[in-house]
C-alpha cells in the first residue's frame, strides 16, 4: 500500500468524542490487517469499539491529525497497568510511568513515521505527571511495533500477561526511562 503524502505537519492532540468513529475505524482496520498477516495481537473483536469510547471518555485517547483528518490513534495513560505489576522480568525504573497502548495508523498513512509522534507526546506529558519512564508491551509477532520500540531505544524487560478469552496471553514488555525519551527520526 502506498502511503499518502502529508501536506501539513501532523499534530498529536487529545481525542474528542467527535473523533471516536474515525479512531475506531483506524484501530479496527489495523486489527483486520493483523489478521490478514497472520498476527495474533488483535482480531476482528479486539480492541472493541467500547474500549476506544472508554479511552476517549477517560481522556487518555490521542489522535494524530494531518491535513484536517485524523490519521492515527493511541492511548497514553498514567493510570498504571495491572499486568505490569506481575512482570516476569525486571523493570528499569520503579517510579510512576506512562503506558502507550492501542497504537494504530490508518493504512493509507503507514510508512510516514507517525507512530514516533505518540512517543514524543508521551515524553512531554511525563514531565507534567512526574513520570520517570514510558512502558509498552506487544505481541511476539507484531513486527512493526517490535521494530519501532527497538528503533526508539526501548529495553526489553520481560513478559507480562493479559487475560483474553479466559486464557493468559503473554506480551513482551519494554521500558525507556524518561531521560532517554528524546525520539530520533
CA gap 54, 68 in Å, rounded: 24
Query: Does residue 43 sit in helix, strand or coil?
Result: strand
pLDDT at res. 8:
76
Distance spanning both ends of the chain, measured CA to CA:
22
pLDDT in tens, 127-136: 889 999 999 9
Positions in the chain short of pLDDT 50: 1-2, 181-185
pLDDT at res. 127:
87
Contact indicator for 126, 108 with CB cutoff of 8 Å: no
Amino acid at each position: 500500500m502506498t502511503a499518502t503524502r502529508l501536506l501539513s505537519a501532523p499534530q498529536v492532540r487529545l481525542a474528542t468524542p467527535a473523533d471516536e468513529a474515525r479512531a475506531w475505524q483506524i484501530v479496527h482496520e489495523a486489527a483486520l490487517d493483523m489478521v490478514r498477516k497472520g498476527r495474533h495481537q488483535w482480531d476482528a473483536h479486539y480492541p472493541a469499539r467500547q474500549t476506544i469510547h472508554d479511552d476517549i471518555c477517560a481522556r487518555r485517547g490521542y489522535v494524530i491529525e494531518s491535513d484536517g483528518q485524523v490519521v492515527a490513534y493511541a492511548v497514553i495513560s498514567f493510570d498504571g497497568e495491572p499486568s505490569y505489576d506481575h512482570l516476569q522480568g525486571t523493570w528499569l525504573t520503579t517510579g510512576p510511568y506512562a503506558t502507550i497502548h492501542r497504537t494504530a495508523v490508518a493504512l493509507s498513512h503507514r510508512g510516514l513515521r507517525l507512530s514516533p509522534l505518540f512517543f514524543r507526546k508521551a515524553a512531554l506529558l511525563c514531565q507534567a505527571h512526574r513520570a520517570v519512564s514510558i512502558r509498552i508491551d506487544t505481541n511476539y509477532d507484531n513486527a512493526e511495533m517490535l521494530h519501532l520500540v527497538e528503533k526508539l531505544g526501548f529495553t526489553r524487560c520481560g513478559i507480562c500477561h493479559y487475560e483474553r478469552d479466559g486464557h493468559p496471553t503473554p506480551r513482551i514488555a519494554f521500558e525507556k526511562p524518561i531521560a532517554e525519551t528524546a525520539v530520533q527520526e
